[in-house]
Amino acid sequence: MFCYHKRMLKYNFNNISISYDELLKRLGYIQNKTYLTKKILTLIEDIRLLALKIIHPKCSLAYANLLKFSKTSIMLDNGYVITSCDVSKLFQHCFKIYGIAVTIGIDLEKKVHDFIVKRELVNAVILDAAGSVAVENLIVNIHSQIKHYENINNNLLTKRYSPGYGDWLLKRNEALLNWIGAREIGIYVNKSYQMLPEKSISAILGVNKKNMSLSTKRI
């Protein structure tokens, strides 16, 4: 297991939105094309409200300066190395990297399982979709807060990037989570490199200066 010196902040969120419209979209609803009965619409709203009661949003965030980079990897000043041509290309002009891990906890996942056991499959599908909306909104919220802070300091952010995208192998996710300190908010990786709880997201963001050329070393 990696043990890095890290600068880390943690957040607990008491409230996170699950938009009704976003939930409908996640369920495949297409306006003016998909017909939903009043009964189904009411059920969706009831499950949405249930989801809001049983999610427990948490975030762990770390950041470090970019020390070295090459075409195939980047190294942070805490010793953490990310081996990926895609990541290196995306962050080649950055001077700082944020690592983010978010989760809404295990309770929603358990309730989905309960619905499946009871053969209440429609409820299970709706609740699972609500969880997906919640965790995505959570990381968007964190992204927005970081963007606001960095913009004040005249910096720009890259897009989010996660293990499993491009050539950044999914099995590298455990190292990323170790740096971020994700275990402290209850996120683990199983033998298949999937995060538990299932409704969890990990990602990195790069920070670069506006109109500034970096003088970073190459590996």
Residue range 28-56: mean pLDDT, rounded = 92
Which tokens is 184 given?
Answer: 């402290």
Are the C-beta atoms of 65 and 76 separated by less than 8 Å? yes
**Neighbour-count burial of 9, counting CB atoms closer than 10 A to its CB (0-12 exposed, 13-18 middle, 19+ buried):** exposed
Top-level class of domain 7-218: alpha beta
Better-scored residue on pLDDT, 20 or 30: 20
Better-scored residue on pLDDT, 212 or 176: 176
Q: What is the pLDDT of residue 199?
A: 98
- pLDDT level of residue 210 (50, 70, 90 thresholds): confident
Query: Which residues, in sequence order, are CB contacts of 171 under 8 Å at separation 6+?
Result: 163, 193
Residue 12 has pLDDT above 60, yes or no: no
- pLDDT level of residue 13 (50, 70, 90 thresholds): low
Q: What percent of the chain has pLDDT over 90?
A: 81
The CA radius of gyration of the chain, in Å to the nearest whole number, is: 19
**CA atoms of 29 and 6, how far apart (whole Å):** 43
Q: What is the pLDDT of residue 4?
A: 38
**Cα–Cα nearest to 51, from 103, 128, 122:** 128
Are the C-beta atoms of 216 and 94 separated by less than 8 Å? no
Tell me the residue type at 161.
Y
Residue range 44-48: mean pLDDT, rounded = 97
**CA atoms of 195 and 209, how far apart (whole Å):** 33
Tens digits of residue pLDDT in 97-114:
999 999 999 999 999 999
Residue range 69-90: mean pLDDT, rounded = 95
Are the C-beta atoms of 160 and 203 separated by less than 8 Å? yes
- Residue identified by tokens 């209440």 is 120
Tens digits of residue pLDDT in 147-196:
999 999 999 999 999 999 999 999 999 999 999 999 999 999 999 999 99
Residue 14 has pLDDT above 90, yes or no: no
Q: What is the pLDDT of residue 17?
A: 87
Residue range 111-134: mean pLDDT, rounded = 98
Would you list the domain boundaries of the chain?
Answer: 7-218
Residue 55 has pLDDT above 90, yes or no: yes
